[in-house]
């Protein structure tokens, strides 16, 4: 007789931050695996395309020029933001200086920036919830598909969402909320348009 008992839905193993780093220390995971820990689940990161890599470089350069020594600008480095989350944002602006993070990864940030192409749904949904729950004051998404900057501010950690959402385009400027007096031209964060490439 055929067994018609419904199968148990697949539930991924959930890891703590400590268990995740043990996998890295023992070599079960390596940097070549290109993964990050999101809410206890080890998630594969999208491959780095040339537009993605170029945009990450532009964002980090523009933020470093605007911020100088007032904070540390980190590119694609771990950020321990929840008991079960270690995202590796494309760019993070963290308090202090580079020397402060030689022995431990930061546990918060002043600003997180993700460059999104195929990862856009995850960046908008999963990561925005994680960053809001951690009360990171500001989260930007550079959307390669639309060529705009999505800005999220005013986190509500309980509801796990940002209450202030806006979209900026080339021609706009944006300040960094946690660093008064700094501002960046949005055009310096976005990929060049085909028209610009032809000129």
Share of the chain above pLDDT 90, in %: 78
Residue 197 confidence class, pLDDT cut points 50, 70, 90: low
- Report pLDDT digits (tens) over 132-142: 999 999 999 99
46-71 pLDDT, tens digit per residue, is 888 899 999 999 999 999 999 999 99
* pTM of the entire predicted model: 0.89
In whole angstroms, what is the distance from residue 55 CA to residue 119 CA? 14
At residue 2, the pLDDT reads 46
> For the chain, which domains are there?
47-198 (3.90.1570.10)
112: β partners: 92, 139
Query: In sequence order, what are the residues at sequence separation of 6 or more whose Cβ sits closer than 8 angstroms to the Cβ of residue 34?
Result: 44, 45, 47
Range with lowest mean pLDDT among 30-34, 56-60, 176-180: 30-34
For residues 67 and 175, give the distance between their C-alpha atoms in angstroms, rounded to a whole number.
11
For 17, 56, 136, 141, the CA distances from 84, given in Å and listed in that order, are 5, 25, 16, 22
Residues 53 and 66: their CA atoms lie apart, in Å, by 20
Residues 6+ apart with CB under 8 A from 134: 81, 82, 108, 155, 157
Output the pLDDT for position 82. 82
For the stretch 6-24, pLDDT in tens is: 555 556 678 999 999 999 9
Rounded Cα distance between 114 and 99, Å, is: 24
Nearest to 192 by CA among 151, 152, 123, 142: 142
* DSSP per-residue letters across the chain: ----PPPPPP------HHHHHHHHHTTSS-GGG-EEEETTEEEEPPP--HHHHHHHHHHHHHHHHHHGGGSEEEES-----BTTBB---SEEEESS-GGGGSSS--S--SEEEEEESTTHHHIIIIIHHHHHHTT-SEEEEEETTTTEEEEEEEEETTTTEEEEEEEE-BTBEEE-TTSTT-EEEGGGTSPPPHHHHH-
Mean pLDDT of the chain: 90
Mean pLDDT of 144-158: 96
């Amino acid at each position: 007789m055929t067994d018609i008992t419904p199968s148990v839905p697949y539930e991924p193993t959930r890891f703590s931050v400590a268990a995740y780093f043990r996998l890295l220390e023992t070599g079960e995971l390596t940097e070549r695996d290109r993964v990050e820990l999101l809410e206890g689940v080890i998630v594969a990161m999208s491959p780095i395309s040339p537009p993605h890599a170029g945009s990450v470089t532009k964002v980090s350069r523009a933020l470093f020029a605007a911020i100088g020594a007032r904070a540390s600008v980190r590119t694609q480095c771990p950020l321990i933001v929840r008991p079960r989350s270690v995202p590796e944002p494309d760019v993070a602006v963290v308090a202090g200086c580079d020397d402060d993070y030689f022995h431990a990864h930061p546990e918060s940030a002043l600003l997180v920036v993700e460059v999104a192409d195929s990862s856009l749904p995850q960046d908008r949904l999963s990561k925005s919830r994680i960053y809001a729950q951690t009360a990171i004051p500001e989260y930007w998404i550079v959307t390669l598909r639309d060529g705009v900057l999505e800005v999220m501010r005013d986190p509500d950690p309980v509801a796990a969402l940002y209450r202030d959402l806006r979209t900026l385009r080339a021609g706009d400027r944006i300040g960094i909320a946690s660093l008064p007096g700094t501002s960046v031209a949005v055009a310096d964060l976005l990929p060049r348009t085909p028209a610009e490439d032809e000129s």
